[in-house]
Structure 1
């Protein structure tokens, strides 16, 4: 049965604090009629710092979509391989053991996908399957895990590498002055993560069931407007309330599996903002503490899109995982409005977890602390 192993996570070396973000907002938009509202919303996100692939001075410039996409390609090639290597080591596998690579990203565009470059440059077999996913946004981390699970179910001896690469800062648009845009400028950060789903063996979460769900009539609530200047992020004010229709979906999936979604041992979910987590607490009837991994990601890195779920999983490993057979839920939420959900049990809890180190390019430092298949 497929096991989701310990992820590797890397964040860039350029740091932007909450205080610096608020000062930038006041300096760049002193006459904005809703500046006070925007800064209050940014403060309420709970984000205390973010990491950027470029210094903030470069981030604020807009040299054009072509130039930004070249930065995306260069930075992806520079930062992804080390994370992939570490994820393989965590899973005790080598590149030639991998049968498929799922690459998710919504902040740059490459064709061929970075998967082709990885296969050519890191020793993966030429017959390695490639599955790039570019348009599921923050839900793509959950989707990548689920598609890996599906592949390993069809091929029980297979191994799948999942890679998430998000440089959200490259979508900064200085001419977008809506409150939603200003809020996103203070919310999103950059990060890279990778993890292996092993078809056989491994320590981590033994995946048992997955599902997808789209909330009808919400496809324009989270979107990109693709213009000459690149990706313009559109965020509807109704998005924070989407857990009201989605929480019952999580509960129903667990119920079909014979579990109670309000009484699981661990929860690893995408943290788009604190309201998402607060509403899940209310609608699922769970204590805020159960989402501590997701809250920590939001506080220390901001919303890092598809990377969030993998970083929350890494923090779960840091805590020592859980007792053998502990039940848990993984969920990513994104454009559609789409939810990608997985259920699984902890396995191999007797193995001593390695101390977490989050890679920062240039130095190492400790981190601050639908489809429905049953198998």
Structure 2
């Protein structure tokens, strides 16, 4: 078994209400664009405010990919470094005690990767195992927890850390008036999360109030790879987001959840803590309906969406952190971490407190 010792979220200092972001983005649209549509989209996604990597006035259509990516590396190192250090402090571990560090992002490119650049700053050992992930998108937070669990099952004396750093605002195509770009500009926020876990032979396994990881599952749905992801070119990252995605969640992800839980003699109604990626309000509504769950089941996800926006892979870490901060569920409670991303793919992690 794997024990989560600590999970932390951190955010850039620049925070804006949704209405202010919408007004700024409306000014960047090409002449003749439907600015009323932009404002309707921003109002419909149920995001109240978001954190941005840069001050709002620094965004615009003139930023080229190289400049924006350099800004990503600098801001991601600062934000990710803080998340890593805070999670280690909460877990009661020094950086040198980590045996594995896994990092994920889908909003910028860095070689050497982010976790490699943080080794010296965070006091990690030069021989720490490093696994940088790119391309899993919003699913990577849950996928990373599953990969940590697999590592710690095979090496139960180890300690491992997952770092998710997503600066979604730096992928913004400000002059793009497509529906996908309008939705992306309305939904996504910036933030980082870090999770520390240990195997069941580690001295700290019995400490803390974090959940244990029981099992994890990854699933690709063939023929859907064109529906979600990035179109990458000299302009940077352009969002690909098909309107079919919520129905994919209804048709495939709900069944996947039920099958996964049934393999552990559980039903959706047995899950106390839903740690579901808030891909958007419609996706949460569809999933709740398909699983016959009350709207309150995804209250933590809806609150995360409202207060910080969709953080891509960092969202599930933020939601898990809020569960822990508000007082963990009673002993024996079941949790399900659930996320989906490009592929189209789903990632499931079964937790128990």
Q: TM-score range by the shorter chain?
A: over 0.9
Q: Which structure 2 segments of 5+ residues have no match?
A: none
Alignment partner, residue 215 of structure 1: 221
Quick check: 1:298 aligned with 2:305?
Answer: yes
Evaluate the alpha carbon distance shift between residue 290 and residue 6 of structure 1 in structure 2; reply closer, same or farther with a 3 A threshold: farther
Contact 2:105 2:137 in 1 (8 A): yes
Alignment partner, residue 312 of structure 1: 319
Shift of 1:77: 1.9
Shift of 1:281: 1.1
Shift of 1:25: 4.3
Shift of 1:197: 1.4
Contact 2:28 2:174 in 1 (8 A): no
Alignment partner, residue 362 of structure 1: none
Structure 1: how far apart are the matches of 2:6 and 2:296? 22
Q: Aligned-pair RMSD on alpha carbons?
A: 1.5
Structure 2: how far apart are the matches of 1:32 and 1:178? 13
Structure (1 or 2) with the greater helix fraction = 2
Contact 2:79 2:191 in 1 (8 A): no
Q: Which structure 1 segments of 5+ residues have no match?
A: 347-375
Alignment partner, residue 76 of structure 2: 76
Alignment partner, residue 289 of structure 1: 296
CA offsets, 1:250-304, max 9 Å, x none?
Answer: 1100001111123211110100101111112111111111211111110011111
Q: Show the 5 A alignment for 1:326-341.
A: 326-341=333-348
What's the TM-score, normalizing by structure 1? 0.89
Contact 2:163 2:195 in 1 (8 A): yes
Alignment partner, residue 159 of structure 2: 159
Contact 2:41 2:182 in 1 (8 A): no
Contact 1:34 1:179 in 2 (8 A): no
Structure 2: how far apart are the matches of 1:38 and 1:44? 10
Contact 1:62 1:173 in 2 (8 A): no
Q: Show the 5 A alignment for 1:1-375.
A: 1-29=1-29, 32=32, 34-200=34-200, 201=205, 202=207, 203-244=209-250, 245-346=252-353
- SS of structure 1 residue aligned to 2:312: coil
Structure 1: how far apart are the matches of 2:30 and 2:70? 32
CA offsets, 1:154-201, max 9 Å, x none?
Answer: 111111101000001111112321122112111111001101011131
Structure 1 ranges of 4+ moved more than 3 A: 25-38
Structure 2: how far apart are the matches of 1:161 and 1:45? 32
Structure 2: how far apart are the matches of 1:28 and 1:127? 47
CA offsets, 1:319-363, max 9 Å, x none?
Answer: 2011111111001111111111010201xxxxxxxxxxxxxxxxx
Counting matched residue pairs gives 346
Shift of 1:16: 2.2
- SS of structure 1 residue aligned to 2:120: helix
Structure 2: how far apart are the matches of 1:158 and 1:38? 49
- SS of structure 2 residue aligned to 1:300: helix
- SS of structure 1 residue aligned to 2:111: coil
